[in-house]
Amino acid sequence: MTRKRPPKRRSGCPVNAALEMLGDSWSLLIVRDLMLFGRKTFREFLASGEGIATNILADRLAKLEANGIVTRQRDPEDARRVRYRLTEKGIALAPVMLEVAVWGATHEKTAAPPESIRRMKDERDRVLTEIRAKWEAEGEGA
């Protein structure tokens, strides 16, 4: 399997680096699906509700993998299926994802359950610990 190299960055600015890796909504939604909703397969990402096209999904998954944010492996139960998982670099985005969710729900009307947003605000460290523990447990079974 050939690995794509991460692209050359436009500049050394850390904001630029982050935006080049995650600067479109589809990439962040894939990270969200992996991190918060436990989605792992191409089909599960397609069913997430935002209506991503298959070619866009394939492209974003490849870019996330090339940037070391996700890994892919064959499903042990069905070798025809690929499962995706956040890497350590990917799970390190959890604080950012929580802040984006809280910011979005604070400034716009969303479908997020108010209790979930309240927990993200008031129990931030606990929620982050839970996200990491779930990710670690999933890794042990992989």
Cα gap 56→42, rounded to integer Å: 11
Closest CA to 23 of 35, 10, 34: 10
Domains belonging to the chain, first-starting first, are: 14-140 (1.10.10.10)
> What is the value of pTM for the model shown?
0.85
Calculate ∠ Cα 46-52-57, nearest 5°.
Answer: 75
pLDDT string in tens for the chain (142-residue length): 455 666 676 777 777 777 777 778 899 999 999 999 999 999 999 999 899 999 999 999 999 999 999 999 998 888 889 999 999 999 999 999 999 999 999 999 999 999 999 999 999 999 999 999 999 998 875 5
CA 41 to chain centroid, in Å, comes to 12
